[in-house]
Structure 1
């Protein structure tokens, strides 16, 4: 297939994530203030979009608390730099089974709530984008399942669309893209969908280039895609995604290291990604262009 390089690239910075990384690097932000400051620094380094989770300020454990999301988004919105807000809606679909011989009852770490509760912070904070993990998947740990049923995804997707918040489809495998196309066909998601290709997340799509191109080739031409890899694959996937026609995501959610033995900040990862994009001959675009290209609506929070 011919090279279809993207010449106008936006960078998403995934600021803190929901993994247990808070004790592995002092740069992983915990409090709303620290997460906001890291997001603002990433925006100043060239990120047009900041993808945010929140954490308990004391323990660093991932959280769904509305007050933390509100403080975070208020701080980012009041900053002296413009950036597109992208909030996770992935939490609240977590099942941890009790083990191979006694799977039920479920154990600590299980967090299953209804669709309205999973998007409550989105309804209150009204970011331009929020994520929609478009499938159920065995996720890294032995007995943990990321759970997103078709009914749940239809309900959440419709709520997001009704709110005027653009869902970013998180596709961890080709079947997730298949179901996302179904959501578009049913009118739940708009035809110009936005998708993030999540590569190398156990046990979804591996991060080899053949699998990546299979994912890319399943993205409809009217959609916009970004892609990322984990750890040492993060920067190679910056180049791979641009060359394949996509946009890029970097940040501490997916990778803690700048170089071997050197812990990164979000701003440093964005700066390095920006250098790769520009050295390929592409332009890094800003938040205003992203809003125009994706049809995003900048709303005031409720």
Structure 2
């Protein structure tokens, strides 16, 4: 029986309790959902954090550390993947686009990975995209990508390469030609972010065909295509991802009651297609991650 691994993406930067009141916000809630996702079959949990009082995205190392410590108190095999996506947004002001507007959060690459250097999770995301994102622009220059990737790898953490469009894969292949990555690239094909990859089977086939031959990859969609792309990624030889970062609904008219419920549904889909979910221990061996 073919096997694959499942990542539970718990909350993200843009999902809100206005969309789904069940979204985890506090470190205790995020850790609770991570542990429940593991019980339902997730081998990896992908984690952002929020300021508990405002519910706004945060880069505070202390918040990440609390989440990780709460998970590790109960489960020392679950693979932890922390985001480094914050700190790349530019909001050009209306009066002068050369002056940053109020939504700008650009940070030096070293500052975007401080929580990774301090906590040393198993995996850290590395975004390669420069793209229009809402009314702002996300900027990830090659120099910033190289610096963040170097710091992540020097810490002994496995980078997960986030690919939002075909130009991002071109950057990945440029880095591969430079022998930048110490291990075969671990990649996520992100579909459904407006102005990026459209979540369709044709898109996934195209993106998969651009990847380096030794890539280990996950394909996932957002919104209404989140669960359909679970099936598509599995059938095309990829791994899968689901969670409240990517979608609000468990099914039509039913908001997801928890990340666990979303993992259970995704697990059921791939099992009925004939796939077996890999355990965290199996995925650690596959990815060359050290145990605790």
Q: What TM-score, normalized to structure 2?
A: 0.96
- Residue 45 of structure 1: aligned partner: 40
> 1:136 aligned to 2:102?
no
Are the equivalent residues in 1 in contact too, given 2:77–2:291 (CA < 8 A)? no
Between the aligned partners of 2:246 and 2:173, the Cα distance in structure 1 is: 26
Please tell me the root mean square deviation across aligned C-alpha atoms, in Å: 1.4
Are the equivalent residues in 2 in contact too, given 1:40–1:81 (CA < 8 A)? no
Query: What is the CA-CA distance between 1:102 and the residue it aligns to?
Result: 3.2
Query: What is the CA-CA distance between 1:191 and the residue it aligns to?
Result: 4.2
Mapping for residues 1-302 of structure 1, pairs under 5 Å: 7-80=2-75, 82-99=77-94, 102-139=96-133, 141-142=134-135, 144-264=136-256, 265-298=258-291
Which deviations, in whole Å up to 9, do the C-alpha atoms of 1:209-263 show, x marking residues without a partner?
2222110111222110001101110111011001110000000000011112211
The SS at the match of 1:145 is strand
Are the equivalent residues in 1 in contact too, given 2:109–2:144 (CA < 8 A)? yes
Q: What TM-score, normalized to structure 1?
A: 0.93
Instruction: Extract unaligned runs of 5+ from structure 1.
Output: 1-5
Instruction: Extract unaligned runs of 5+ from structure 2.
Output: none
Between the aligned partners of 2:196 and 2:80, the Cα distance in structure 1 is: 26
Query: What is the CA-CA distance between 1:76 and the residue it aligns to?
Result: 0.9
Are the equivalent residues in 2 in contact too, given 1:44–1:81 (CA < 8 A)? no
Which deviations, in whole Å up to 9, do the C-alpha atoms of 1:247-284 show, x marking residues without a partner?
00000000011112211110001000000110111100
Query: Could you list the runs of 4 or more consecutive aligned residues of structure 1 that deviate by over 6 angstroms after TM superposition?
Result: none
